[in-house]
Amino acid sequence: MSQAVGTTLSLKDYLQQQQASEQLQSVLFSLTEACHSIHHALTKGALAGVLGAAGAENVQGEDQKKLDVIANDLIKDSLGKNPSVRGLASEEEPEIVACQTDGQYLVTFDPLDGSSNIDINSMVGTIFSILESRGEHAATEQDFLQPGRQQVAAGYVLYGPSTMLALSVGNGVVMFTLDPSNGDYLLTNNAVTIPEDAKEFAINMSNQRFWHPAMQRYIAELLEGAEGPRGKDFNMRWVAAMVADVHRILCRGGLFTYPWDSRKPDQAGKLRLMYEANPMGFLVEQAGGEVWTAAGKILDIQPEHIHQRVPVILGAKNEVLRCVEYHGNA
Ligand SMILES: O=P(O)(O)OC[C@H]1O[C@](O)(COP(=O)(O)O)[C@@H](O)[C@@H]1O
Ligand SMILES: [Mg+2]
Ligand SMILES: [Mg+2]
């Protein structure tokens, strides 16, 4: 649950309080400045001619929206100019992009998450993860292949009725609200925690027939509500933007899953390990939640390639562990 605070503590003040290095601060400012520009592009929408398809596919065979490309370019340009950035990897880029050979940080990002929501004027976001890079050499893909537990910071910017930044530098989770008039991010929630129990879940129910039997059983029991084995009613939500579904869980608890399904049996899951599952996993664990694939903890996965996909079960501890237990792995 998030705790609202009436404060004018800026992102800069917060990072100084946290004793974040100057370099890490500058990487976060590059990201959040780009997100301020994305906020403006989204706000103008059709008036700026930014809606609709870009007419191309990304490396994962998904149709790109114009705003996927615009958001990617804004973040890439901003990080590319930063002397502390060794390299970046984006959901929308086929390969990693090497930046400064002596930069200290690697950044992975999903420039626009939930992009199918763009054309219905609904919530989208930017998700990012920051890793350290040692030595002095041009960034390679191998440098990025670090388990999520090694992230030094992760977060997202949610473009909703207000634009909000959720951030962890490894010491809990906090939220800031963007003042669009000047680009300041001001602290508005200073202690985000996810309760261990839940009465709300998020899953795309239309895929039910393709799920593993253990997931079928877990969700069926939730749907039986007070009359079933769980003895209580559960509510369901699905925004179709992970960033918004996870934001809700950080604000009021619950479970989120995009599980493995048999539509593409060789594909581990839909969501991307390095651009979605790891950064969101870092936030959720920092807020006291659990983050699993059903077979193990996501933050312990040794990535094999930057565009790797994973099944995701995250949120309220007791719900996630019960779901994993049904898969025989808790
Ligand atoms: O449309 P579906 O199958 O429910 O998938 C929704 C999921 O896909 C995603 O939109 C994937 O993200 P992108 O928009 O970055 O490709 C998640 O944010 C969301 O949880
Ligand atoms: Mg995404
Ligand atoms: Mg995306």
What burial letters (b/e) apply to 190-223, b meaning 16+ CB within 10 Å? bebbbbeebbbbbbeeeeeeebbebbeebbebbe
Ligand 2 centroid–CA 241 distance in Å is 7
Ligand 2 centroid–CA 197 distance in Å is 26
Please tell me what DSSP assigns to residue 289: -
> In the beta sheet, which residues pair with residue 201?
236, 255
> In the beta sheet, which residues pair with residue 189?
4, 175
Surrounding ion ligand 2 within 5 Å at CB are: 110, 113
Residue 141: count other Cβ atoms within 10 Å of its Cβ.
13
Which of the residue ranges 57-66, 134-143, 211-220, 237-246 would you say has the lowest mean pLDDT? 57-66
* Residue range 200-326 in CATH 3.40.190.80: yes
Q: Among 68, 159, 271, 309, which residue has the most ligand 1 atoms within 8 Å of its CB, making it the best to mutate?
A: 271
8 Å CB contact between 306 and 96: yes
What type of residue is 200? E
8 Å CB contact between 240 and 116: yes
Taking the CA of 257 as reference, the closest ligand is 1
8 Å CB contact between 123 and 106: no
Q: Whose Cα sits closest to atom 11 in ligand 1?
A: 114
> In the beta sheet, which residues pair with residue 57?
63
pLDDT at 235: 98
- pLDDT tens-place string over residues 283-295: 999 999 999 999 9
**d(C-alpha 107, C-alpha 102), whole Å:** 14
**Residue range 94-111: average pLDDT?**
97
Locate 323 and state its tokens.
Answer: 């779901």
> Does 5 have pLDDT greater than 60?
no
pLDDT at 57: 76
**d(C-alpha 130, C-alpha 147), whole Å:** 12
Binding residues for Mg(2+): 91, 110, 112-113, 276
**d(C-alpha 142, C-alpha 124), whole Å:** 30
- What proportion of the chain, given as a percentage, has pLDDT over 90? 87
Ligand 3 centroid–CA 63 distance in Å is 10
Q: Which CATH class is domain 11-189?
A: alpha beta
**d(C-alpha 282, C-alpha 204), whole Å:** 23
Residue bearing tokens 């995701």: 312
Q: Among 67, 113, 260, 264, which residue has the most ligand 1 atoms within 8 Å of its CB, making it the best to mutate?
A: 113
Structural domain boundaries in the chain: 11-189, 200-326
Its ipTM equals 0.98
Taking the CA of 62 as reference, the closest ligand is 1
- pLDDT tens-place string over residues 36-75: 999 999 998 888 777 778 777 777 777 788 899 999 999 9
Ligand 2 centroid–CA 127 distance in Å is 8
Instruction: Say what the alpha-carbon torsion angle 98, 86, 90, 67 is, to the nearest 10 degrees.
Output: -90
- pLDDT tens-place string over residues 105-127: 999 999 999 999 998 999 999 99
**Nearest atom (ligand 1) to Cα of 275:** 15
8 Å CB contact between 311 and 269: yes
pTM: 0.95
**What residues contact 249, with CB distance under 8 A and at least 6 apart?**
194, 202, 255, 256, 284, 289, 314, 315, 316
Residue bearing tokens 């590319």: 80
pLDDT at 214: 97
Q: Among 58, 60, 204, which residue has the most ligand 1 atoms within 8 Å of its CB, making it the best to mutate?
A: 204
8 Å CB contact between 200 and 191: no
- Per-residue confidence band for 330, with pLDDT thresholds at 50, 70 and 90: low
- What proportion of the chain, given as a percentage, has pLDDT over 70? 98
Ligand 1 neighbours, Cβ below 6 Å, are 62, 91, 110, 113-116, 204, 240-242, 258, 270
**Nearest atom (ligand 1) to Cα of 238:** 4
pLDDT at 4: 54
Taking the CA of 204 as reference, the closest ligand is 1
Burial of 293 (0-12, 13-18, 19+ CB in 10 A): buried
**Residue range 242-246: average pLDDT?**
98
- Per-residue confidence band for 196, with pLDDT thresholds at 50, 70 and 90: very high
> Does 6 have pLDDT greater than 70?
no
- Per-residue confidence band for 1, with pLDDT thresholds at 50, 70 and 90: low
- Per-residue confidence band for 309, with pLDDT thresholds at 50, 70 and 90: very high
How much is the CA Rg of the chain, to the nearest whole Å?
Answer: 19
**289 vs 59, 91, 103, 250, 310, CA distance in Å?**
32, 25, 32, 9, 18
Residue 285: count other Cβ atoms within 10 Å of its Cβ.
20
**Nearest atom (ligand 1) to Cα of 115:** 14
**d(C-alpha 297, C-alpha 314), whole Å:** 10
**Residue range 188-200: average pLDDT?**
97
